[in-house]
Chains A and B, each alone.
Chain A
Amino acid sequence: MQLVPTQHYLILAAVLFCLGMLGVLVRRNALVVFMCVELMLNAANLTFLAFARERGDVTGHLSAFFIIAVAAAEAAVGLAIVIAVFRSRGTVNIDELHTMKH
């Protein structure tokens, strides 16, 4: 059976990446913004895997492992920071983060 062409995966990844980027730029809830960043990382992951499958090369597959590990570490620190923000001001709305504007 014929496989789904690589382009389809790439387009999906590009759409996911753009969604994530849009989300980071327009959403106001810190957690949602954070999830959008993860979406972007996973779009990159999908792109790596699509190209790796097209070429039959393991580098892309390996990359995915490392990206997942990095994303997990980033998530741990990121959520800790979101909790610190919440504790210090009781909200995670990023519009209200403007102590330092001059």
Chain B
Amino acid sequence: METYNPLTGYLPLALVFLVAGGMAFAIPLIASMLGPKSVNPIKSETFECGNVTIGSARQRFAVKFYVVALLFIVFDVEAVFLYPWAVNFKALGWFGYTTMSLFAATLIVALAYVWKKGALEWES
């Protein structure tokens, strides 16, 4: 009796991964074995042309990025709740409309608070 493996459909994908992974290891390996090498201090700088590099790349981000990002996440996720309601708008009728209006009203209160508090101002 032949059993059907659910993963058979993914076989081509597995092949692609295998080949891509192999290439990723093989190419640098071959290049480092065959390629000519010239080691000097200038070459090991971050950039070989243009300005001398200043400071580290691991700088801290200003907190304002964080505030905006979090506000985005929170409002974005809340907006997801509108979607199932919108799809079933007719079926849910006035009850759904009232409920979602209340939900949206709380979000608007939050938005008004955030706005008035100045959390959306970029410069200040």
A and B touch in their complex, CB below 8 angstroms: yes
Task: Check A35 for interface membership: any CB of B closer than 8 A.
Answer: no
Task: Check B20 for interface membership: any CB of A closer than 8 A.
Answer: no
Question: Closest CB of chain B to A34's CB: distance in Å?
Answer: 13
A64-76 interface mask toward B, CB cutoff 8 Å, 1 = contact, 0 = none?
0100110011011
Task: Check A99 for interface membership: any CB of B closer than 8 A.
Answer: no
Q: CB-CB < 8 A to A83: which residues of B?
A: 63, 66
Task: Check B18 for interface membership: any CB of A closer than 8 A.
Answer: no
Task: Check B6 for interface membership: any CB of A closer than 8 A.
Answer: yes
Q: CB-CB < 8 A to A69: which residues of B?
A: 77-78, 80-81
Chain A residues 1 to 27 lying within 8 A of chain B, measured CB to CB, are 1-5
Tell me, in angstroms, the Cα distance from A1 to B5 when the chains sit together. Answer: 9
Question: Closest CB of chain B to A94's CB: distance in Å?
Answer: 20
Q: Which residue of A lies closest to B63 (CB)?
A: A83
Q: Can you list 28 residue pairs at the A/B interface with Cβ under 8 Å?
A: A1-B6, A1-B9, A2-B4, A2-B6, A4-B6, A5-B6, A65-B80, A65-B81, A65-B84, A68-B80, A69-B77, A69-B78, A69-B80, A69-B81, A72-B73, A72-B74, A72-B76, A72-B77, A73-B74, A75-B70, A75-B73, A76-B70, A76-B73, A76-B74, A79-B66, A79-B70, A80-B70, A83-B63
B1-31 interface mask toward A, CB cutoff 8 Å, 1 = contact, 0 = none?
0001010010000000000000000000000
Q: Which residue of A lies closest to B71 (CB)?
A: A76
Q: CB-CB < 8 A to A73: which residues of B?
A: 74
Tell me, in angstroms, the Cα distance from A72 to B81 when the chains sit together. Answer: 13
What bracket does the count of chain A residues touching chain B fall in? 10 to 19
Tell me whether B73 and A3 are in contact (CB under 8 A).
no
Tell me, in angstroms, the Cα distance from A5 to B6 when the chains sit together. Answer: 9
Q: CB-CB < 8 A to A65: which residues of B?
A: 80-81, 84
Given pairs A72-B77, A75-B73, 4 additional interface contacts (CB within 8 A): A5-B6, A65-B84, A72-B74, A75-B70
Tell me, in angstroms, the Cα distance from A62 to B48 when the chains sit together. Answer: 55
Tell me, in angstroms, the Cα distance from A75 to B72 when the chains sit together. Answer: 12
